[in-house]
């Protein structure tokens, strides 16, 4: 007879469908899971994965599920940081991965928020990609302003999809490019709701694009960028404890 532990273990075993590069540093991993728990996932949740190494299963690492909750597969969008994340592009279709989840509460009630400000830094876009894909699937009319900080245009992943979403959703996108002098020149009149700002996010940029106390604010990015954004929002009358946040780092045990 199969033990509870063995059944649990089998439930967590997923199959790699494919790995697709998003840019030089970021890859999307697509997984097939037999675990019914993932069917009830919410946009913005994450899962914890282990990969098989020569000495057995690796330690678990958390990644947001960047695909929509309606997708029949799990998509994670993963930036190369160290040994674990750099091994992701080597996964092949049919390989097995252990996947635990769904986990977390970031963006839990976002469907019910009529006006939303999303602030992302780099790969911190992943929970918002999930929410926007979900809004597209559900024909949502929530008014969203997405601020996304990157160093340059090359770091913007899923650029065409996001541009198209500004025509499908009630969505405006403000790219803040900290090391790209040409930023404003990327404006394309075919996508009037996609704006490019030169430099980092700051109170003036938030203010110019209509951020004020009222909309529900969500923030995800590297810790220094998050601290800076919280201070900017505070200056605009938005208290830090009202800003929902996801940290992509955790305290070492």
Ligand X SMILES: Cc1cc2nc3c(=O)[nH]c(=O)nc-3n(C[C@H](O)[C@H](O)[C@H](O)COP(=O)(O)OP(=O)(O)OC[C@H]3O[C@@H](n4cnc5c(N)ncnc54)[C@H](O)[C@@H]3O)c2cc1C
Q: Which is nearer to ligand X, 4 or 82 (CB)?
A: 82
> Residue 124 class from Cβ within 10 Å (0-12 exposed, 13-18 middle, 19+ buried)?
buried
Contact call for residue 226 and ligand X (CB under 6 A): no
| Interaction between residue 46 and ligand X (CB under 6 A) | yes
CB 49, min distance to ligand X, A: 9
Residue 77 interacts with ligand X (CB under 6 A)?
yes
Contact region with ligand X (CB under 6 A), list: 36-44, 80-88, 89-97, 184-192? 80-88
The helix/strand/coil state of 162 is: helix
Interface residue with ligand X, options 41, 75, 79, 133 (CB under 6 A) = 79
Q: Which of 4, 82, 94, 224 binds ligand X (CB under 6 A)?
A: 82
DSSP letter for 38, please.
G
Nearer to ligand X, 79 or 175 (CB): 79
191 binds ligand X (CB under 6 A): no
CA dist., res. 211 & res. 202, Å (int) = 11
The answer to whether 71 and 129 are in contact (CB under 8 A) is no
- The region of 16-24, 61-69, 207-215, 231-239 touching ligand X under the rule CB under 6 A is 61-69
Contacts (CB under 6 A) with ligand X, residues 232-251: 246, 248-250
For residues 50 and 98, the answer to whether their CB atoms sit within 8 Å is yes
Among 15, 85, 96, 202, binds ligand X (CB under 6 A): 85
Q: Measured between alpha carbons, how far is 121 from 82 in angstroms, rounded to an integer?
A: 19
109 or 168, CB closer to ligand X?
A: 109
Closest by alpha carbon to 127, among 186, 68, 169, 73?
A: 68
For residue 90, state whether it binds ligand X (rule: CB under 6 A): no
**Binding test (CB under 6 A) with ligand X, winner from 74, 123, 176, 229:** 123
> Computed from CA positions of residues 39, 9, 13, 127, in that sequence, does the dihedral angle turn out positive or negative?
positive
Secondary structure class of 246 (helix, strand, coil): strand
**Burial class for 25, CB neighbours closer than 10 Å (0-12, 13-18, 19+):** middle
Bridge partner list, 168: none
Task: Specify the stretch interacting with ligand X by CB under 6 A; choose among 8-16, 49-57, 73-81, 89-97.
Answer: 73-81
Please identify, among the stretches 79-87, 146-154, 170-178, 196-204, the one whose residues bind ligand X according to the rule CB under 6 A. 79-87
144 close to 111: Cβ distance less than 8 angstroms: no
Residue 112 to residue 94: CA distance in whole angstroms: 38
Instruction: Select the residue interacting with ligand X from 64, 130, 142, 166 (CB under 6 A).
Output: 64
Residues that bind ligand X (CB under 6 A): 46, 61-64, 77-79, 81-85, 104, 123, 126, 246, 248-250, 252
């Amino acid at each position: 007879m199969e033990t509870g532990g063995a059944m649990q273990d089998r439930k967590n075993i997923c199959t790699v469908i494919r790995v697709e590069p998003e840019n030089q540093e970021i890859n999307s991993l697509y997984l097939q899971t037999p675990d019914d728990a993932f069917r009830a996932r919410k946009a913005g949740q994450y899962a914890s994965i282990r990969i098989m190494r020569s000495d057995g299963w690796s330690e678990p690492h958390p990644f947001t599920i960047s695909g929509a909750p309606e997708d029949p597969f799990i998509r994670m969008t993963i930036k190369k940081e160290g040994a674990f994340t750099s091994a992701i592009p080597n996964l092949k279709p049919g390989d097995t991965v252990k996947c635990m989840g769904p986990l977390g509460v970031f963006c839990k009630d976002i469907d019910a928020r009529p006006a939303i400000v999303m602030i992302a830094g780099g790969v911190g876009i992943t929970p918002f990609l999930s929410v926007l894909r979900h809004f597209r699937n559900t024909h949502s009319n929530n008014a969203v302003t997405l601020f996304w900080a990157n160093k340059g245009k090359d770091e913007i992943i899923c650029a065409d999809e996001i541009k198209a979403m500004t025509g499908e959703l009630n969505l405006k996108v403000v790219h803040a490019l900290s090391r790209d002098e040409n930023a404003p020149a990327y404006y394309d009149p075919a996508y009037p709701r996609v704006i490019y700002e030169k430099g980092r996010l700051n109170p003036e940029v938030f203010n110019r694009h209509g951020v004020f106390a009222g909309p529900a604010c969500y923030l995800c990015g590297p810790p220094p960028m998050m601290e800076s954004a919280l201070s900017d929002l505070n200056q605009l009358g938005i208290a830090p404890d009202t800003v929902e946040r996801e940290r992509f780092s955790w305290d070492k045990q």
